[in-house]
Amino acid sequence: MLVNYKNSTTLNMRRTAITTLIIFISFLSFPQNISRINIEKHISILSSDLMEGRKPGSNGDVLSANYIAEQFKSVGLRLNENTGLQEFEIVANVELGTNNLFLINDSTSKILSDYVPLSFSGRERLEAEVVFVGYGFDFKTEKIEWNDYQNVDVRGKWVIVLLGHPEIDSSFSVFSEYADERSKVILAKDKGAGGVIFVSGKKLNEKDELMELFYDKSSSGVDVPVINITRKLANKILSPAKTIEELESNLNLNRKPESFAINKTVKGITDIIQTKIKTNNIIGILEGTEPILKNEYIVIGAHYDHLGMGGKGSGSRMPDTSAVHNGADDNASGVALMIELAREFSKLKNQKRSIIFIAFGAEEMGLLGSKYFIEKPIVERNKIKAMFNFDMVGRLRNKSLSLGGVGTAKEIENILFKYSDTTKLVLSTSPEGFGPSDHANFYSNNIPVFFVSTGAHADYHMPFDDKEYLNMEGIKIVGEYFYPIISEILDLDTNLTFQESGQKAASKHGGKLKVTLGIVPNFSNQDGNGLGVDGVTKGGSAEHGGIKKGDIITALNGNTVKNIYDYMFRLKKLELGQTITVDINRSGEKIILLIQL
């Protein structure tokens, strides 16, 4: 399941609050042949160290794809293009090219020692004069107005910009939302600057270390050169004027711009190369039997990729640890269940509609496999009538199963209630069709969706997501519940009636937007053990994600929350539509929830 995937949120549409339905499930007279033994076998293979964490483009990725294709073929599915593979290309990393250059009045600097281009920099060159523009701000609030670009001409020139902001030690600062590098670069471009040079003040970075070059999962760059240089190099540019240390101190103390032109020329070339790799969706088709309806399709999907060896930018919640992230729950569990559903449905001889089974690639990198499929489907897109997405179904606890998308077709809730007679499962349902997994790309194209998950847990996106912690019987129970539901939809005389339920696309914007979790915080809680929740806003992100009154929030997206100031600081770093993890202490029990802002 994807972390840090940018979505959009709320919406000039009807939103309904998550309704937690206590639904007791029975399977009536439908077959109950989902094999627990086979499920465990698939998970053991897909989550073994041999698969190297199934990172897109890796050897483990290829081995996993071939294994899934073989399983599809063995259960009787027709493989897409005879191999089952739908290949697509993605950006996996960035690296330095050979043409990077930084000259000050023809004096050469050394890359990785004196300077480094930022990963989102364009492959650009600029030879121009330089202007120091402080923190690179231009904003106005009720309490403060700050414009570093006032009274200086930066058109076509380099601007030197301090990283961070004047209140870097404060967890609750008005400057925080204007301080990220991309926002500063976009503002500099808007002011006409031809290139941006970032430098750290001593208070922010006493050791004067350069930024690391790593891919932040955003393939969108800027069309100007963006470079980080050391203070030593910056002071060489500024000489004989003030030093970076003096300028940082003045700006932090006086809280007013101190911008000026510098009578020196800098020539810079940034050469950042995107490393592209190929990965696959794995597709198998089970053809229906009714002459007309067999040309309509139900998609059953589960992503098969994971985080590889982890590391910075991978999505791991332990980014400084290099270890195999086996992803047994996320999402070998969903793939295993999908294969066994394919096995059971292939035994049918009279289902009306056809089924497309898809193991999606590169979900963890931004739902890329499902995006590619929906843009280049193997059948007419309007012939896809429903989509079931199984993502992290291996940790069934207290019979609790989360089901999203129930508001995306008028008939869905009635179908769910139709199979609600015994005590197998308790469903927590959400009407929204958009969310942190591959079903979002189908919902965005007016296709009813079912998003099925047993939820996040302490091992989510950690090296400890291993098969021994899975509830294999629980996976079987989930499969036996959905088998008759899928069967009914396959044989309906008329299709499900799609309806919008929540936003249908990710927010695309250049700056930071205010976000809210939708809680009433306990301001009096000062024990440093987290932020207490005194109330939950009806219809807000917190309610939809399962936060309850009395919970204590201990982390947002893996970052510790000890008090209201930590909470507000963490929240300011997030964006509308982002899907985050929220660590909760609920009466002594540690819980991790996925929340879409």
Q: Mean pLDDT of successive 10-residue segments in the chain (597 residues)?
A: 41 36 40 87 98 97 98 98 96 90 93 95 93 96 92 97 90 81 91 97 94 73 92 96 95 95 96 92 97 97 97 86 96 98 93 97 93 96 98 95 94 87 79 90 95 92 97 96 96 96 56 64 68 81 89 90 78 77 93 89
Q: For 97, phi and psi rounded to 5 degrees? A: -85, -175
458 domain-assigned: no
Residues 406 and 368 in one domain: yes
As a whole number of angstroms, the distance between CA 250 and CA 157 comes to: 24
Residues 259 and 233 in one domain: yes
For the whole model, what pTM was predicted? Answer: 0.71
CATH of the domain at 164: 3.50.30.30
Query: Which one, of 442, 427, 546, 429, lies nearest residue 481 by Cα?
Result: 427
Q: Does the residue 496 lie in any domain?
A: no
Do 258 and 328 fall within a single domain? no
At 10 the pLDDT is: 33
Inside any domain, residue 20? no
Shared-domain flag, residues 546 and 591? yes
Residues 300 and 384 in one domain: yes
Considering the domain architecture, whether residues 289 and 263 belong to the same structural domain is answered as no
**Domain presence at residue 131:** yes
State the residue range of the domain holding 134. 99-270
Q: How much is the pLDDT for 219? A: 59
- Beta-carbon neighbour count of residue 254 at 10 Å? 10
Instruction: Please indicate, yes or no, whether residues 64 and 180 belong to a single structural domain of this protein.
Output: no
Overall domain count for the chain: 3
AA identity, residue 50: L
Statement to judge: residues 68 and 169 lie in one domain = no
The verdict on whether omega for the bond into residue 31 sits within 30 degrees of 0, i.e. cis, is no
Nearest to 271 by CA among 94, 407, 51: 94
Q: Residue 15: what pLDDT?
A: 36
**C-alpha–C-alpha distance, residues 490 and 370, integer Å:** 21
What is the three-class DSSP state of 126?
strand
What is the rounded distance in angstroms from the CA atom of residue 462 to the CA atom of residue 454? 17
Helix (H, G, I), strand (E, B) or coil at 418: helix
129: three-class secondary structure by DSSP: strand
> Do 214 and 333 fall into the same domain?
no
Structure tokens at 166: 């004047």
- For residue 25, is it within any domain? no
Write the CATH number for 554.
2.30.42.10
Please indicate, yes or no, if residue 10 is contained in any of the structural domains: no
What pLDDT is stored for residue 389 in this prediction? 98
Provide the 3-class DSSP secondary structure of residue 74: helix
Report the CATH number that the domain containing residue 62 is assigned in CATH: 3.40.630.10
Helices (H), 534-580: 541-545, 564-572
Same-domain status, 481 and 537: no
- pLDDT at site 464: 97
pLDDT of amino acid 216: 65
Backbone φ and ψ of 49, nearest 5°: -60, -25
Do 85 and 114 fall within a single domain?
no
Q: Is residue 164 part of a domain?
A: yes
Residue 560 lies in a domain: yes
Residues 403 and 541 grouped into a single domain: no
pLDDT computed for residue 21 by the predictor: 39
